[in-house]
Amino acid sequence: MLRFTVRRIGSLIVVLFALLVLVFLISRYGGDPVRGYLGANASADAVAAMRTRLGLDQPIGVQFLDYLDRLVHLDLGTSLATRRPVADELAQRIPATAELALGTMLFSVLIGLGLARVSGTLRFLFYTAASAPSFLLATGGVLVFFVQLHWLPVSGRTSYGPSTGLSGMYVLDGLLTGNLPYALDALWHLILPAFAAALGPGIALARMLADGLDTSLRSAYARTARSLGESEPAVLRRHGLRNAASPALSLLGVQLGMMLSSLVVVEQIFSWNGLGQFLVHAIGGADTATVATISLLLGAVYVVVNALVDIALALVDPRIRLN
């Protein structure tokens, strides 16, 4: 297990470095940050002076080393979209996206577990809904649960204003500070955007679990357990879910990429002040450096989580360590 973990971490470092190089090249050749900062009407002398100030007139190798140094010290430059330091923007918005991502992951697991053993019309309806893009699901949720039923809010993260807690995740801060009304209100705001982003991955997880459970429950060891007097729920819990969990966990790691892309759309629709909304503003403002930084962060999260999933799978299934 130790050898597998070391090998997996080594490949993770290689992928992260390749991602870092790619993002750096995009930030340098995807657009001119100086023109974006000074404006299209800036004089040639002002542009040249700014390029010298930012070190963009140096050889590309020197620029890359300077980029690494600033990245280590969290000096990410200034956002052209907001004119604030990118590090400050990220510190404010990462908790919002993290809270939405955790809610989405939780809903995905609940949907997967809930539909894995459901058959008939209900499963068909969910499968049909999951084929719709996230923006359509989010818009449909707004029309049904807000416009028609008035059950759920559709804008912002809370009705009470920003949290004063340390984590920046409003539900958690409300619970940690003992402010239950604040936590419940934040949770109420979280339900609809998290569900809209979770439905697609949750249905994919349900399909994987259903196939795995069907195979496991028809296996010889499941029949043996029944012959020894175990109840059907016990057979499902101790044999079916245990054997179906490994491929489902692997799929959940892969589905993380789909979740992250959905969050970009969902944050826009529900005015969720997170990384997705910041990314859209940066793209609209031709803020190439900020777009590259957010892409690096989301890409790093994706590859790290998948590495952790691989290690968890190796703990569950020893056969994976031999691959």
pLDDT tens digits for range 289-304:
788 888 888 888 888 8
For the domain made up of 97-273, give the CATH fold: MetI-like fold (1.10.3720)
Residue 171, pLDDT score: 92
Distance, in Å, from the CA atom of 78 to the CA atom of 289, rounded to the nearest integer, reads 9
| Six token digits for residue 3 | 């050898």
Q: What is the 3-state secondary structure (H, E, C) of 155-207?
A: CCCCCCCCCCCCCCCHHHHHHHCCCHHHHHHHHHHHHHHHHHHHHHHHHHHHH
Q: Which sequence spans correspond to the domains of the chain?
A: 97-273
Residue 103, pLDDT score: 92
Q: What share of the chain is helix, strand, coil (3-state, %, to 5)?
A: 75, 0, 20
Comparing 273 with 213, the larger pLDDT belongs to 273
pLDDT tens digits for range 109-166:
888 888 776 766 666 666 666 666 777 777 888 888 877 877 888 888 898 888 877 8
The answer to whether the predicted template modeling score (pTM) of the entire model surpasses 0.95 is no
Pick from 56-70, 84-98, 301-315: least confident: 301-315
Specify the 3-state DSSP secondary structure of 78: strand
* Residues ≥6 apart with Cβ < 8 Å to 80: 33, 36, 37, 282, 285, 286, 287, 289, 290
Nearest residue to 222 via CA among 207, 209, 313, 231:
231
pLDDT tens digits for range 225-238:
777 777 777 776 66
